[in-house]
Amino acid sequence: MAIHIKVLGYHIDVFQHVNNARYLEFYEADRWDWMGKANLIEWAIQHRIVMAAVNINVNYFQAVGLGDELTVISRMDKIGVKSAVCYQQIIRHRNGVDEVVSDAYVTFVFIDGKVNKAMVIEDELREKIESLKNKTDAFIEV
């Protein structure tokens, strides 16, 4: 899955480029879209499960400016016992060339809303997360 973003004025900071914190919003928007299309969000709400990011490692390769056309893509990278890692890229499309302007690894856990503790990723939850592995677009090698 992927979302497309055109960089608008409110995305730009005083230095005339997208601020590093805004990239986190772009990444989060794609994760919500990606998981929504996989019906993970609805399922989690029904089961009182909350997904929480616990670590984010972001690389910034190129500045992004006003009017740039971006695509944000995500894939499940690893699924552990209590956490999973999502890999994401932001790709700029300019003059017929696609280039990665940023990438990120986001580690998250699932919290049982009834007891407020991280859950073991097993059974139906594991199946839901595993299904995200097949819902990705083409990544660019960085």
16-25 as b/e: b if 16+ CB within 10 A: ebbeeebbbe
Query: What is the residue type of 140?
Result: I
Are 73 and 88 within 8 A, CB to CB? yes
Residue 13 annotated in active site: yes
Q: Which among 13, 30, 33, 68 is annotated as catalytic? A: 13
Tokens at 135, concatenated: 């819902």
- Residues annotated as catalytic are 13
